[in-house]
């Protein structure tokens, strides 16, 4: 396809609401990753919850990534537009309340409720709001793309997600340096307020084929169906090891950069993963396209696991950059094939149901990573910081070996004559 043909496809293959939804997603991810870049440091150093900062940040993401299936019920009942507006309203309030925990005039409420209790409440509130956006934007992309351009539509969506993930932390650094770390959360709150008005004014309910509406009863039945599928759940649990590694970019990495390498602008180094993904995902996907999905996943796991050894053994800013970029290479190798493999595990008449639970490794990995990050930081940061990354690599290597064993068992079972 020529450049002119591709440009024509982009101009004519999408409803105008597609671009509205993706613009909202870009700025929502900017606000999310801006706050995410500093959240653990904010909770540890500004709020004073040093021993639980990773756990709290991990819980936040676990809730955010474990509720989209339930949120889908609300989308079906109230529509994309109203659900999006509710999401941005909750985000606006939630981000501000999180930031309030680090402000002088917010101390009276945190002391009255208790710092830990207050932070738990506002983090969960904000995460509930965040869970609403995923089914809204993904559903809008599907409904506002022509069948011939839907794959391109999701590529645009994922590119903008990574772009927001790259730009957000850089803005966060500037806000933190000029105003204070608590105002990064205020920035995310104000961005969410603008997104609320943007959705109200510009977003129109997309038209398209109506799929089966979800109910809470159906969600519960789907959970039973998925959780009793041993092969599928085994794969998801093993895959959560990847996310245990990924989230350390936000849970352990900032402390290592500032305390050990003495580099204050840790937010810039957090963006290395997103910027690398923007550049390499398409060519890497093409290179590994001939591999079976599970083999691409194993290769990606291996690369990601070894990336942390580069950081630990190098002990420099350059090694940290190369290490995170190498992790991104592992992510780009396996990420596009993950959903392909998940769909292959699902029974043919239940692909949609099983795909809806593909986010579970993110939630499990985030929750586990928070507690692991706290332990590694409190145990090794001051005494043997390289050990943080060696242990993290060991977790990844263990997950890789488990994935190899899983693949052998599944392959042998599937080829055993009946």
Average pLDDT, the chain: 89
| Nearest Cα residue to 191 out of 405, 32, 356 | 32
Residue 350 contacts by C-beta under 8 Å, 6 or more apart in sequence? 225
Strand partners, 145: 14
What's the angle, vertex CA 130, arms to CA 127 and CA 136, rounded to 5?
150
Q: What is the pLDDT of residues 325-374, one digit of tens each?
A: 999 999 999 987 887 788 788 777 676 677 778 888 999 999 999 999 99
Question: Can you tell me which residue has the tokens 């060991």?
Answer: 394
3-state secondary structure of 145: strand
CB 157 within 8 A of CB 140: no
CA dihedral 29, 34, 37, 42 (to 10 degrees): -130
Q: Tell me which DSSP letter residue 291 carries.
A: S
Domains with residue ranges and CATH for the chain: 1-203+210-214 (1.20.1250.20), 222-418 (1.20.1250.20)
Task: Give the tokens for residue 233.
Answer: 């759940």
Give whole-number Cα distances, 235 to 227, 344, 364, 365, 409, in Å.
Answer: 12, 12, 13, 13, 12
pLDDT digits (tens, 9 = 90+) for 225-238: 888 888 989 999 99
Biggest distance spanned by C-alpha atoms of the chain: 70
pLDDT at 418 (0 to 100): 45
Nearest to 62 by CA among 124, 16, 145, 125: 124
What is the pTM (predicted TM-score) of this model? Answer: 0.90
Predicted pLDDT of residue 158: 83
The pair of three-digit structure tokens given for residue 403, joined into one six-digit string? 């994935």
**Cβ atoms of residues 297 and 403 within 8 Å:** yes
Give me the pLDDT at residue 281, please.
85
Please give the structure tokens belonging to residue 54: 């990773």
Of 315, 318, 205, give the one whose Cα is nearest residue 260. 315
291 to each of 294, 296, 408, 409, how far by Cα in Å? 8, 6, 16, 19
Residue position matching structure tokens 């999408």: 14
- Dist CA 280 CA 276 (whole Å): 6
Average pLDDT per block of 10 residues along the chain, 418 residues long: 60 84 94 96 96 96 87 81 94 97 92 94 94 84 79 80 93 97 97 97 78 71 84 93 96 97 96 94 86 92 97 97 97 86 76 75 95 97 97 97 92 54
pLDDT of residue 213: 66
């Amino acid at each position: 396809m020529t450049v002119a043909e591709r440009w024509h496809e982009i101009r004519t293959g999408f409803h105008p609401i597609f671009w509205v939804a993706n613009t909202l997603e870009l700025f929502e991810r900017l606000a999310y990753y801006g706050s995410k870049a500093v959240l653990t440091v904010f909770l540890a150093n500004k709020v004073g919850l040093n021993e639980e900062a990773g756990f709290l940040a991990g819980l936040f993401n676990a809730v955010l990534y474990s509720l989209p299936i339930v949120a889908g019920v609300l989308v079906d009942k109230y529509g994309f537009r109203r659900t999006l507006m509710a999401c941005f309203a909750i985000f606006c309030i939630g981000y501000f309340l999180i930031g309030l925990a680090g402000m002088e005039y917010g101390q009276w409420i945190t002391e009255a409720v208790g710092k830990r209790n207050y932070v738990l409440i506002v983090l969960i509130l904000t995460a509930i709001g965040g869970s609403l956006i995923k089914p809204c934007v993904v559903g809008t992309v599907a409904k506002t793309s022509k069948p011939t351009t839907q794959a391109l539509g999701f590529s645009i969506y994922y590119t903008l997600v990574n772009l927001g993930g790259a730009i957000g932390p850089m803005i966060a650094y500037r806000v933190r340096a000029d105003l204070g770390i608590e105002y990064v959360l205020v920035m995310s709150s104000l961005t969410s307020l603008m997104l609320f008005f943007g959705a109200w004014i510009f977003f129109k309910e997309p038209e398209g084929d109506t799929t089966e509406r979800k109910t809470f009863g159906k969600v519960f039945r789907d959970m039973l169906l998925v959780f009793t599928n041993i092969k599928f759940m085994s794969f998801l649990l093993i895959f959560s090891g990847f996310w245990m590694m990924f989230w350390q970019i936000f849970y352990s990495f900032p402390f290592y950069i500032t305390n050990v390498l003495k580099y204050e602008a840790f937010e810039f180094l957090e963006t290395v993963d997103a910027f690398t993904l923007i550049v390499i995902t398409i060519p890497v996907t093409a290179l590994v396209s001939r591999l079976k999905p599970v083999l691409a996943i194993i290769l990606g796991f291996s690369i990601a696991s070894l990336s942390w050894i580069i950081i630990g053994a190098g002990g420099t800013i350059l090694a940290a950059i190369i290490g995170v970029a190498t992790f991104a290479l592992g992510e780009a190798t396996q990420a596009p094939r993950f959903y392909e493999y998940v769909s292959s595990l699902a029974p043919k008449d239940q692909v949609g149901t099983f795909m809806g639970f593909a986010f579970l490794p993110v939630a499990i990995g985030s929750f586990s990573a928070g507690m692991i990050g706290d332990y590694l930081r409190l145990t090794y940061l001051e005494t043997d910081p390289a050990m943080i990354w060696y242990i993290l690599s060991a977790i990844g290597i263990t997950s890789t070996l488990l994935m190899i064993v899983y693949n052998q068992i599944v392959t042998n079972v599937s080829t055993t004559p009946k």
